[in-house]
Structure 1
Amino acid sequence: MEKKNKIGDNLKSVFKGNTMLFILVGVMILFEILIRIGDHGSLFAPANITNIIRQNSYVAILATGMLLCILTGGNIDLSVGSVVALVGALAGVFIVTLEMPIWLSICLCLLMGTLIGAFHGFFIAYVHIPPFITTLAGMLLWRGVATIVLDGKPISPFPDKYRNLFESFLPNPSDATIEKFGELDIFDEFVDKYTFMVTLIITAICILAYVVLEIVSRRKKIKNNYTVSSKGSFIAKLCVLSIVILILGQFLARDRGLPVVLILLAIIVAAYAYFTQNTVPGRYLYAIGGNAKAAKLSGINTDNVMFFAYTNMGFISAVAALVTISRMNSAQPTAGQNYEMDAIASCFIGGASAYGGTGTVGGAVIGAIFMGVLNNGMSILGIDMNWQRAVKGLVLLGAVIFDVVSKKKRTSK
């Protein structure tokens, strides 16, 4: 009896720590049932899973940067969509119009995004203008500059060498191999089997790396006398998340393999998750969000932390811009509209607190995927775009209400 209670407690702990992940799975299953009933195909078609990842990669990338701003006290950045448009416009000028080397153009675009973020950060951190006002001004300013740079006209197409950096798949046969054997039916069969096997092998390596890193992190926390979850709940969490990664891997293996943009996203998520959870500057973000005055009195330079958060947001916006123009194959003055809203919603849906000090990078990414599944599922069902906006608004409101009510309950105890 005691053993059963222990297993139940472990499962409850896993569910509590990964609530949004289980809700995401539940929503996907619900959409799959509705789509099947309506004879609209399948949400779980491998090609559709790939499209959800590719179409929403920019949201997940922006959400990682937005989370750092939100952690500082519920602050947000309203300018990211306009920064995406401006950096995309500059990339179009550099790569297409001026035909500059691709890697030099990418570096210049990332530098420009970082400088724009530093511009916002300076006024927020050192002049102490509220982030809402500063970034609202940035939203208008950079959208106008993007339109001026493009003269109101899109720039396209981008060279294949650039698009392959973000829109290709791994493993991917070379052009020479395709030209030599592409007409043979047996070649297509071989590529499909090769893609399936290599993708599953990469998936298995990712699972192994995840398990090892989690074990190492847990041991470090125990060594430093931090509170950790029970051994049973830790193992259950590893099993659940490993199964999720494996299921995702087999979907991708049955399509075209791993999208390169997913690899880029995985690197960004891993880097920022490590930064926020395992470094001193990362913990400063949580400290400021928890109690800014106490953090300042304890010796944290809160101005520098705020400057870093918004400078980083500019850099992340530039990365999202490079991904976006590759996906659209054009630089447009209207690009990036409402991107800031998607990123903010992803963070709050993923568990970030509206007051700051609470939230994880993984949660923000799950929130971004949740938004993508909502968009994709409702589009397949043929639901009107206005109703889609209404549903997303209600979901965001529900997430924030849940956060506010939970915080009131905790403070009342």
Structure 2
Amino acid sequence: METLTKLFKNNIRQYGMIIALIFIMVLFQVLTGGLLLKPINITNLILQNSYILVLAIGMVLVIITGHIDLSVGSIAAFVGAISALLMVNMHLSPVLAVIVSLLVGALVGAWQGFWVAYVRIPAFIVTLAGMLLFRGLTMIVLEGQSISPFPNGFQKISSGFIPDLGSGGLNLVALLAGIVLSVIFVINEVRDRAQHRKYNFDVIPQGLFIAKLVVLLVVINLFTYMLATYSGIPNILVLMFLLIVIYSFVMNKTVMGRHVYALGGNEKAAGLSGVKTKKVTFWVFVNMGVLAAISGLIFAARLNAATPKAGTNFELDAIAACFIGGASASGGIGTVFGAIIGGLVMGVLNNGMSLVGLGIDWQQGIKGLVLLLAVAFDIYNKNKRAV
């Protein structure tokens, strides 16, 4: 019991948000008469929130370093406009257009990273200027009009599904993916537990560990089964899965990840310890630019058009997802998994409130309260630990 209490206290924000997500899902499942967790709505949830979740992955790194980025929505719109110019007007190959668009995102991130890291202008000011600058450039590129339609191959980024092995009935690829993920998950959990025991770290009792495995295996396979009953695995889900795995690995297992946490925890101490703080800050913003570009491409493919109003409020949703998912406003704390959970909380809230017929005014108000409570909870825990 003492070990369980310690583990829960050390991960209270993460566990709290998972419990909150489950509670919100159950609540709206009841209020909508079972519509929320229907296979078609689960697929829609993935498609509707994919671009925000991609932004949240990059935003959590920015927040961990103690900065903020208000320009990501405008960058997403700008990159979407560039991609439309290349593919629709200039008839460039979608593959080449995507590569060029990602390079544009990286250059934009480098531009902002330079001012923040080397000129030492606060990120709030730099990215606020970027928000205005790239929104204006978007309107200039599009000449105030929407450009469409995109090639079919490009549209499949957001609307396509992994081809099935069979024909009709359940989607075999989705079912096989569930089995493969289950095996990988069990191996990884058992290996991590063995490593913790080897170095005498606290681990949960074996019975509870087995129960945890069983519950998560049921969730994984139930999720893939639901996808299998509709159209299978969306292409965008594969992209998101790869991003989550890669960024979780980088943040938890690499020197770069440790440097990002060190910078956010105490910049001066990190510098004295040999961390190249300016370089780390610069590359975090370059990374944010690339992920904002990916988000812009996803949104443009889903909308099948580049519009001057694309990306509006994306930055607010991404920032909210990070804070709700456990990132600290003072930097040094946060996880990629937590940002994804925070994004899902916001996504399920949006979807559930729409299904029960709440207007946009109520939706905005409730989301604002959820964000305020999440940050207040973080401040409360921090003050409690200080005492």
TM-score grouping bracket, smaller chain normalisation? over 0.9
* 1:77 maps onto 2:69 in alignment: yes
Q: 2:256 aligns with which of 281, 297, 304?
A: 281
CA separation in 1, counterparts of 2:292 and 2:195?
A: 33
Tell me the secondary structure at the aligned position of residue 169 of structure 1. Answer: coil
Question: How far is the alpha carbon of 1:164 from its aligned partner?
Answer: 1.7
* Equivalent pair of 2:117/2:281 in contact (CA under 8 Å): yes
Question: How far is the alpha carbon of 1:14 from its aligned partner?
Answer: 11
Tell me the secondary structure at the aligned position of residue 329 of structure 2. Answer: coil
* Equivalent pair of 1:83/1:314 in contact (CA under 8 Å): yes
Instruction: Give the alignment's Cα RMSD to 1 decimal.
Output: 2.2
Write out per-residue CA displacement over residues 111-145 of structure 1, whole angstroms, 9 at most, x where no aligned residue. Answer: 00000001000000000000000000000000000
Q: Which residue of 2 aligns with 1:18?
A: 15
Question: How far is the alpha carbon of 1:409 from its aligned partner?
Answer: 0.5
Q: Which residue of 1 aligns with 2:38?
A: 45
Return the TM-score normalized by structure 2: 0.94
* Equivalent pair of 2:3/2:204 in contact (CA under 8 Å): no
Q: Which residue of 2 aligns with 1:191?
A: 167
Distance 1:138 1:15, change over 3 A: closer
* 1:384 maps onto 2:359 in alignment: yes
* Equivalent pair of 1:204/1:246 in contact (CA under 8 Å): yes
Letter in 1 for 2:161: F
* Equivalent pair of 2:62/2:69 in contact (CA under 8 Å): yes
Letter in 1 for 2:38: A
Write out per-residue CA displacement over residues 67-96 of structure 1, whole angstroms, 9 at most, x where no aligned residue. Answer: 0000012x2100000000000000001011
Write out per-residue CA displacement over residues 228-254 of structure 1, whole angstroms, 9 at most, x where no aligned residue. Answer: 533535544444333322222122111
* Equivalent pair of 1:113/1:315 in contact (CA under 8 Å): yes
Distance 1:236 1:130, change over 3 A: farther
Letter in 2 for 1:24: L
Question: How far is the alpha carbon of 1:159 from its aligned partner?
Answer: 1.2
Letter in 2 for 1:289: G
Write out per-residue CA displacement over residues 338-385 of structure 1, whole angstroms, 9 at most, x where no aligned residue. Answer: 000000000011111111111111110011111110000000111010
Q: Which residue of 1 aligns with 2:81?
A: 89
Question: How far is the alpha carbon of 1:13 from its aligned partner?
Answer: 7.7
Distance 1:315 1:231, change over 3 A: farther
After TM superposition, the structure 1 stretch with the greater mean CA deviation from structure 2, 237-246 or 155-164, is: 237-246
Question: How far is the alpha carbon of 1:226 from its aligned partner?
Answer: 7.9
Distance 1:363 1:243, change over 3 A: farther
* 1:254 maps onto 2:229 in alignment: yes
Q: Which residue of 2 aligns with 1:68?
A: 61
* Equivalent pair of 1:79/1:340 in contact (CA under 8 Å): yes
Return the TM-score normalized by structure 1: 0.88
Letter in 2 for 1:44: L
* Equivalent pair of 2:64/2:327 in contact (CA under 8 Å): yes
Letter in 1 for 2:162: L
Distance 1:172 1:161, change over 3 A: farther
* Equivalent pair of 2:60/2:327 in contact (CA under 8 Å): yes
Tell me the secondary structure at the aligned position of residue 191 of structure 1. Answer: coil
Q: Which residue of 2 aligns with 1:164?
A: 156
Unaligned runs of 5+ in 2: none
CA separation in 1, counterparts of 2:106 and 2:295?
A: 12
CA separation in 1, counterparts of 2:5 and 2:379?
A: 26
CA separation in 1, counterparts of 2:331 and 2:222?
A: 33
CA separation in 2, counterparts of 1:43 and 1:352?
A: 27
* Equivalent pair of 1:171/1:199 in contact (CA under 8 Å): no
* 1:309 maps onto 2:301 in alignment: no
CA separation in 2, counterparts of 1:49 and 1:194?
A: 16
Structure of greater Rg = 1
CA separation in 2, counterparts of 1:216 and 1:85?
A: 43
CA separation in 1, counterparts of 2:71 and 2:197?
A: 41
Question: How far is the alpha carbon of 1:214 from its aligned partner?
Answer: 3.6
Write out per-residue CA displacement over residues 146-189 of structure 1, whole angstroms, 9 at most, x where no aligned residue. Answer: 1000000001111111112332112348xxxxxxxxxxxxxxxx
Q: What are the residue-to-residue correspondences of 1:354-393 with 2, within 5 Å?
A: 354-393=329-368
Letter in 1 for 2:90: L
* 1:140 maps onto 2:155 in alignment: no
Unaligned runs of 5+ in 1: 174-189
Question: How far is the alpha carbon of 1:191 from its aligned partner?
Answer: 3.0
